[in-house]
Amino acid sequence: MKVLNPITALVTPWGFALSDSEKTEELADNLKAQFLPVTDPSFRPVIETVTVTFRSYIISPSSRPQITIPDEIHEAVRELKESRLRARKVYRDGQ
C-alpha cells in the first residue's frame, strides 16, 4: 500500500492554513486575485503593446520559412534573437 505524505501548511498573510479546506480556500482566493482585470494606468502601455502584437499576429501569422542551408538557419535564429531583445526593450521601457 502506498503511503501519501501529508501536504504541509500554507503560509498566508493571516497565518497558516492547516486544514485541507483552509488550503483550498486560500488557493482559490489567490487565483481569484491573480485574474482580476488590470486597472492600474501605469500598465496601459504594456497592455496596448501586447494587444497590437496579438492582433497583428492573428491578422497575418508568420509563415514558416523554407530554410535548408545552414547559413540561412543561422541568420533566421539571429533575427529571432534580435526581435526578442527588441520586444523585451519595448516591454521594459513601457513604450
pLDDT digits (tens, 9 = 90+) for 44-64: 777 788 788 778 777 765 666
pTM for this model (two decimals): 0.35
Higher pLDDT residue, 3 or 95? Answer: 3
As a whole number of angstroms, the distance between CA 72 and CA 70 comes to 5
Domain-wise residue ranges, the chain: 1-36, 41-93
- At residue 27 the predicted structure's pLDDT band, cuts being 50, 70 and 90, is confident
Residue type at position 1: M
When mean pLDDT is compared across 7-16, 28-37, 60-69, the lowest value belongs to 60-69
As a whole number of angstroms, the distance between CA 49 and CA 55 comes to 10
Q: At what angle do helices 70-93 and 44-59 cross, to 10 degrees?
A: 150
